[in-house]
Amino acid sequence: MSGHSKWANIKHKKAAADAKKGKIFSKLAKEIMIVAKSGGGDASANPSLRMLIQKARAVNMPADNIDRAIKKGTGELQAAALEEVMYEGYASGGVALIVQVLTDNKNRSAAEVRHLFTRNGANLATQGSVLRTFKRKGHILIAATAAAEDRLMEVALEAGAEDLRREDDAFVVIAEPASYVAVMDALAKAGIATESSEITMLPEVYVPIADKAQASSLMRFVDALEDLEDVQNVYTNMDIDEAVLAEAVKE
């Protein structure tokens, strides 16, 4: 097994609430703009765009929003130029954080992120000090009822996946970013539905969180970061106990 994906699974559980609030639409629009700019607006010829469109449809993002984002990426519609910035740091208990930002104003983003770190008793770290403890991977979540494990393993590994494991009521497939699209295409061709999929940052070492108060505090901090307009993703190495997580998410 190549590492764990606890935070990626937590993010999936949070996504439903985020989608209801519409928070996820603007973030997806930015991602779509970036991949359309780099790979073109034709989803049939741009696998990354195709996957993002599927992800957007899964959370009921309006088709007009998707189309506008593609056209902004290709230059058919005017849009502000976006720049990616990564902020790194540590929260209470030594929990590592990576904050991915897509912004048209780096000074604004830096001030907002710094403010939240300070307010939550966290510290920003030097560039690269946290990133080097994470690996960029494709993460695919599949309901355990969607396929037999042997069949899933055959399809995923033949397509280039590097790991498959059972986690509670789901299977998790891990792939190198270069193989991610091929694995997704193979699963779709085999008729195996996915619950979520993304290119993410997985930590090499996790920090266990068993205290409800600490879990709630950390989740509020992450939520506050994700609520910032320019923040695209927050990656962390906290491993929250399932029972503690259920209570923390309610708050």
Query: pLDDT digits over 216-240, tens only?
Result: 899 899 989 998 989 999 999 998 8
pLDDT band at 3 (very low <50, low <70, confident <90, very high): very low
pLDDT of residue 18 exceeding 60: no
Side-chain half-sphere CA neighbours of 10 within 13 A: 27
Residue 71: CB atoms within 10 A of its CB come to: 17
32 is a domain residue: yes
Query: pLDDT digits over 107-152, tens only?
Result: 999 999 999 999 999 999 999 999 999 999 999 989 999 999 999 9
Which pLDDT value is given to residue 249?
59
pLDDT of residue 168 exceeding 80: no
pLDDT of residue 98 exceeding 70: yes
Which pLDDT value is given to residue 91?
96
36 is a domain residue: yes
191 is a domain residue: no
Residue (of 235, 229, 250, 232) closest to 108 by Cα position? 229
Query: pLDDT digits over 40-88, tens only?
Result: 999 988 888 988 998 888 888 999 999 999 999 999 999 888 889 999 9
pLDDT band at 162 (very low <50, low <70, confident <90, very high): very high
144 is a domain residue: no
Which pLDDT value is given to residue 15?
59
pLDDT of residue 95 exceeding 70: yes
If one counts the domains in the chain, the total is 1
Which pLDDT value is given to residue 70?
96
3-state SS string for 141-167: EEECCCCCHHHHHHHHHHCCCCEEEEE
31 is a domain residue: yes
42 is a domain residue: yes
For residue 241, count CB atoms less than 10 angstroms from its CB and return exposed for 0-12, middle for 13-18, buried for 19 or more.
Answer: middle
Which pLDDT value is given to residue 246?
67
Indicate which CATH number applies to the domain containing 20. 1.10.10.200
pLDDT of residue 9 exceeding 90: no
What is the extent of the structural domain holding 45? 6-74
Query: pLDDT digits over 108-119, tens only?
Result: 999 999 999 999
Which pLDDT value is given to residue 180?
92
Residue 146: which residues within 8 A CB-CB, separation 6 or more? Answer: 152, 171, 192, 193, 194
Which pLDDT value is given to residue 169?
83
63 is a domain residue: yes
CA distance 250 to 3: 28
219 is a domain residue: no
Residue where the block lists tokens 């056209």: 71
The model's pTM is 0.85
Query: pLDDT digits over 170-215, tens only?
Result: 899 999 999 998 999 999 999 999 888 888 999 999 998 888 888 8
pLDDT of residue 1 exceeding 50: no
